[in-house]
Chains A and B, each alone.
Chain A
Amino acid sequence: MNLMLTPVETEALLLSLKVSAVAVLFALPLAIAVAMLLARSFPGRAVLNAIVHLPIVLPPVVMGYLLLVTFGLRAPLGAWLNDTFGIRFMFSWTGAALAAGIITFPFQVRAIRLALEAIDPGLMQAAETLGAGSLDRFASITLPLAAPGILAGAVTAYAASLGEFGAIITFVSNIPGETRTLPLAIYTAIQTPGGEAAAARLVLLAIALAFAGLILSEIAAHHLKRINGR
């Protein structure tokens, strides 16, 4: 079997890497904020937690449908975004990134929340008595101690993003060079007569990427234990 990627396949790979990167980077600050919120107790925490984790249990096609009726050009929000800022998610790679970002959001929140909950609250009190205000404490204690967890969450979300299929194809269709990411390219190759070799190459690639992502996230988690002195 020829392992060299064709230009079209390379395009799908690069598009996937780009879509996932944008998805994870834009979701990250929000994921940190939501994780911090979920790490403390307040009324309605269970509800927020359920909403955040909904994308894991919902069928991806349902997520795609929901995105379509929210950000479609005939939907109020989608129309407003298009008219006011010229932002259009429909049939665009940014739409693929939005779908991947939302679907993998729970992975990020979960990892960050675990990292935050592992921080001894006594350290915050100590920092407080040493003259650190709340923003200062966040920057000098919370973020550095949670950093490996944040990294682990981002890497896991990135690897999962690379594999997102159902929501993307439902929301932004399967447009070569625009929304045809790796899984969509695999699907297309399988559907195409004589595309078995291409499909196999892309499947190997997908497995390698997922594997690398999980190993990286494991290394980050290990680092978290070390940095917290355990």
Chain B
Amino acid sequence: MNIEVRFTHRFPGFELDIAFAVERPGVTALFGPSGCGKTTIVNVIAGLLKPDKGEVRLNGSTVLDTTSGINVPAHKRRIGYVFQDARLFPHMSVRRNLDFGARRTGERLPDGEASAIITLLGLDNLLERKPRHLSGGERQRVALGRALLSNPAALLLDEPLAALDSGRKAGILPYLERIRDEARIPILYVSHSIDEVTRLANDIVVLNAGKIAASGPVEDIMSRLDLFPLTGRFEAGAVLEGHIARHLADEDMTQVVVGRNRFVVPRVGDDPGSALRLRVRARDVMLATKAPRDISANNIIAGKVTGIREDTGPYVDVQLDCAGTVLLARITRMSRTRLAIGHGKKVWALVKSVSVERTPSRQDGRS
């Protein structure tokens, strides 16, 4: 299962030159600021917009090739598309909305699988309602179910949370995580929120001014200092993949192993051995040139400076190699001069806070 996209398209005053591939199932985030062409890209993949020049391949078969004149119409591409504004059919009940794509697909999902998706998305009690009687979050869940029940070869989610308030966002994220973990199709997730991306995505394609700035696994891209202006200076930080070593029952904490380092975080519900993703924001990391003692930070990690990024303003971003794990720290230019921090310098990273960004994939079998 894969998606390959390569195209150029010109709008008045704006040009897109795009090439990337989604190679594996799971979530690939299409990340970039508003107005950088993200929606155009998903529309090209879905067949809702024909670019000036380019190709789109789904699972190896060409659905668009402007050179040879191939352009499979959208309704034959088997792409599930969840729009920012849900776009439920107002004259149909939730049940008929869900059935709409299912009745038109060549390969219908087995009944059991269809009802499992409905249950997974918590739609069982909404089936007879009309869309106007649903909340924003419920609408997005129905839109998600409708796309999935059409048995698509790939799923495109265009900022599905952008129109929701933060409470509703938090309410729907767990559903998205379940879909990610259960669906065996590639999911392209358009977002301008780095929080959503680090929580949901395996891979990330960073878009800037109509071009692909970088693409790769989230951990790699997020630790790159040169991408800081794009990944969001304030929110930027390292994303670390690890697993639970053990729970510290007395302290109500959990010990997480990341490479050759150990972190302690506030207790997580999952069992030892479960995979976790940690996010350490650069602004939450202090640096010391001597091993600090008698201080409240629980996570003190030794490492070596491997990169420094200067920008205008009082701050510099420092990249550390901590026995194979990359951490990022944002310190003031003043501290950097005072502590003489430069390439190769041995330092200690004092991590003020760690957030557990993603609960593990193994959701089933637990209550």
Contact = CB atoms under 8 A, between A and B. Distances in A.
Contacts of A131: 75-76, 78, 101, 104-105, 150
A144 B91 contact: yes
A123 B146 CA distance: 13
Interface string A131-156: 11100100011001100000000000
A83 interface: no
A135 to B, nearest CB: 11
Interface string A189-230: 000000000000000000000000000000000000001110
B105 A129 contact: no
B129 to A, nearest CB: 12
Contacts of B105: 131
Contacts of A44: none
10 contacts: A129-B46, A130-B104, A131-B105, A131-B150, A132-B100, A136-B104, A140-B100, A141-B89, A229-B90, A229-B132
A114 interface: no
Determine which residue in A120, A125, A144, A145 has the highest number of CB atoms from chain B within 10 A of its CB, and name it: A125
B131 A128 contact: no
Interface stretch (B79-87, B116-124, B314-322): B79-87
Interface residues of A, number: 20
Chain A at the B interface: SS class? helix
A122 interface: yes
A129 B74 contact: yes
Contacts, number: 70
A130 B101 contact: yes
Contacts of A125: 48, 74, 81, 83, 87
Interface of B: 46-48, 73-81, 83, 85, 87-91, 100-101, 104-105, 130-132, 146-147, 150
A129 B85 contact: no
Given A133-B75, A227-B90, A227-B91, A127 B81 contact: no
Given A125-B48, A128-B47, 16 more contacts: A122-B87, A123-B87, A123-B89, A125-B74, A125-B83, A126-B89, A128-B75, A129-B48, A129-B81, A130-B147, A131-B78, A131-B104, A136-B75, A144-B91, A227-B90, A228-B90
Contacts of A136: 75, 104
Q: Which of B73, B76, B89 has the most chain A CB atoms closer than 10 A to its own CB? A: B89
A229 B131 contact: yes
Given A131-B104, A229-B130, A126 B87 contact: yes
A126 B87 CA distance: 7
A126 B142 CA distance: 13
B104 A129 contact: no
Contact of B90 (A129, A130, A145): A145
A126 B83 contact: yes
Contact of A145 (B74, B79, B91, B132): B91
Contacts of A228: 90-91
Contacts of B130: 229
Contacts of B132: 229
Contacts of B77: 129
B100 A129 contact: no
Interface string A82-125: 00000000000000000000000000000000000000101101
A127 B48 contact: no
A128 to B, nearest CB: 4
Nearest to B48: A125
A75 B78 CA distance: 56
B83 A130 contact: no
